[in-house]
Structure 1
Amino acid sequence: MMMLSILIWVIMAIIWLSMSIYNQRTVEKYNEILQRYMQMNQASQLSQQSLTTLNKYRMSPTLESMNQYLSDISSLLRTKTEMSWLRNTSNTMLLNNLQNMLESQAEAMDLAVRFQKDNDEENAAKQFDEASNISKYISEATLTLISGEQNTYDAFYRKIIKRSENIKNMGLWTLALVSLLLLLFSYRFVDSVTQPLLKLTLSARELSRGNFKNPIDLGNNDEISFLAITLESMRLKIGHFIDDIQSKAQLEYDLHRHKLMLKESELKSLQSQINPHFLFNTLNMLSKEAYLAGADKTSELISSVAGMLRYNLRKLDSRVSLKDELEVLEEYLTIQKARFGDRLHVIREIDESLLGIELPILVLQPLAENAFIYAIEPAEEGGTLTIRVKQEERHILVQVQDTGQGMDGEQLHKLLSHTENSVYKGHSTGLGIWNVIHRLQLFYGVEEVIEIESHPGAGTCITLKLPRGQAI
């Protein structure tokens, strides 16, 4: 209740402060009006002052009087420019006329100075008289502008000032009255609540220490007594709930860890089905034999297979660069190009500056295998495979796009399912897309790492969204 009282008091204080700010803004508006008056009056004063300075120069053409004239005429032109902020819907025409007259007076005075320097007294006097007449018009226009400003703002200002004072006084009285009432009510209410709560707190503290001997008897018949009766039962139930939650969390953690260990065991088992080092050395020997025999194409294919095998011998938790992944993908595409011939077209759109990012090993090749299995291999005319690497605001996008028949929702679900590895029996990696997604999620610590766009008859585009510098 005390917190409620303080909150209400703060709200009232904010209301009072808001009213004060409103009043302050009103005063600032009035100061702005005064500045407008002073700016308009300054134009008239500078007009007369510059005319007086010009007359002194004509009477005594010295360097000092000339410098004084130049200073005044500069101030006059600067004031003419600065008056633009005074423009509003009601004084646009008058203000434009005043600015034009200030400029005309300055031009007339400059001509008078020029004729004076040329000893042309007649024309100098004529231009001086012209400037004097313009200065009179400027004084009249200034008075007209000031009069219009007074008519526009005087009534408004008086009304706002009176309202601000009334609101301020009302806010002060309201704040004082509400504060007094809240303090009185809070004291009575808090006293009637805090004493039973204090007893209940002491009893609860004893219960938390394991002391069950002292009964809780508040002598009241209200909600606090009911709270005291149910406190011990609630404490016991909460303890049981916490124990259950911890047990379940530990069980889920162990289950997840066992799944990861099982998956890793399966992958390692898949890699160890043959003696990889023996096979790698054998392929290198065959590649050399084919090269020496003049079978360059066969040597290139065997070399590509050896390169893929050597790359696959790395551990699945290895970190590699995007450049390494693209290089082994090229080895894979070399083999597929020899297999499909002119039925396969490969397009590469790769930003070379992005190839230094790290990612798990064997990520791109399973995506390319998916394209060959579902798009290029079933089509009699083959297809086009596009490898694209580009940059987004916070991600590096790696896309593998094919021109196959695409997939519907059921096929996409099958592609992303845990049992998808069975589809890849007989292919080079034996790793499914679900496995790629899972390892990327663990590597970067984020969930959204892949997007698949596919529609029947429109091909498939798999996009990896790799966060820059966020691997864990």
Structure 2
Amino acid sequence: MNRIQKKIWSLTLVVLFIMAIIWTALTYYNQKTQDQYNAILQRYLSLNEVTVASQALITDLNDYLLQPSEANLNQLNASKADVQNAKGDILILKNEDNEFVMANYMNLIDSLMETTERSFMYQNQQETEASANEFSEATRISNYISETTLTLIDTELKTYERLYRQIIEQSNELKNLGIWLLLLITFLLLLMSYWFSKSITKPVEKLTQSANELAKGRFDLPIKVQSNDEISFLAETFDRMRVNINNLFLEIQEKAQLEHELQQNKLLLKESQLQSLQNQINPHFLFNTLNIMSKKAYLEGAEETSDLLVSVAGLLRYNLKRLDKPVTLHEEVIVLKQYMEIQKARFTERLHLHMEIEESFLGVQIPGLTLQPIIENAVIHTIEPAEDGGNIWFRILDSGDIVTIEIEDDGQGMAKEKIQQILRGDSGQTEGQSTGIGFSNVVKRLRLFYGQEDVIEIQSVIGQGTNVRLKIPKKRRNDGND
């Protein structure tokens, strides 16, 4: 049962032995070359870091000038520190060959920092033109720093040209050594692989033939493989699986029959549910019936009853609309008036509605069924509990880029905890009754519709009333996507 494992371990040990020899031979040459290369590369990286840091400083300065925020300011300060650190790193690169160029290079970095500070100062003083001029100068200096960096790198290349040649020669030697080692390893691995594969492939071929027979559905043929390793155990296991599959066929047939009967029962249940739905009252049929009753009441002289039925029918038709489609503020005001007509018929003189509407903004888009649940909340908590009723004020006002909709009442007011619950979008006791759409649901849909959180304010004083203020943008952020 361990023959294959022994073969694998033998092959592995041979490969490891060869790799150890290769590693020992190459490590010395590689380490020597790497140390020389790292010393030169570090000089180039230090010079390049100045260019990268200066360009990042210009980018962060531009971001801050376009949007002076605390985050951009912190990023700008971090870039300044990076430039200073890069300047300190290149001091060790100064030598007799580049003394003049390095002095000029340091002065350029100092000039860049000073110009950046002046642009930042002018921006804080709101001198936009002066700040822009300094930014342009800083950009020019940054570009010149990049050019000077290339000049210094070119000088470094000339200085270390001889060392580069030595590194290239060593690399060629390592390349030749690697080729010979690769040929040796390939030859040895071919010998070992042939011996290893020969002892495994024959039993595997027999096992494959048996698997093909099983794939054709012939489960009556026994699986036998003559081998003295793990493949023999695999063949025995495979044969037991063949027997188990035969036994499973009968169970699957029985389960299929049961599944068929269960599916038939489900179909009967669905037919019963559909029949039940057909027996329910169709809302559109109810809407048409209310219209007929309204006309009949009008013909019989009951004009108030006719108007009330018209309002109920209009409210029902509006509630049948999809809530994911936007409507105009004009449509919302119409359904609001219809709802209040119904409530006036209910509360008579106890309900006092005061409306102040700027007609020019009634074309603004708003989610369907937004105003009615809020007004309904005011009716439930202001008019119903009070014996003398109460007042409700409805206003649509112009507030610059937004249209302000105010719904105010003189009821009992709400606690701060209740206001926070509504603003978080949690359902509570302020849920509407006629539409099933609550106050908190309105808050969620408004925020989703306009893509912003600041769309509603609630001010309330216990015992004095509540003021709900909706801040509706005149133009949505995603106009054209509906």
TM-score of the superposition, structure 2-length normalised? Answer: 0.43
Rg comparison, structure with higher value: 1
TM-score of the superposition, structure 1-length normalised? Answer: 0.44
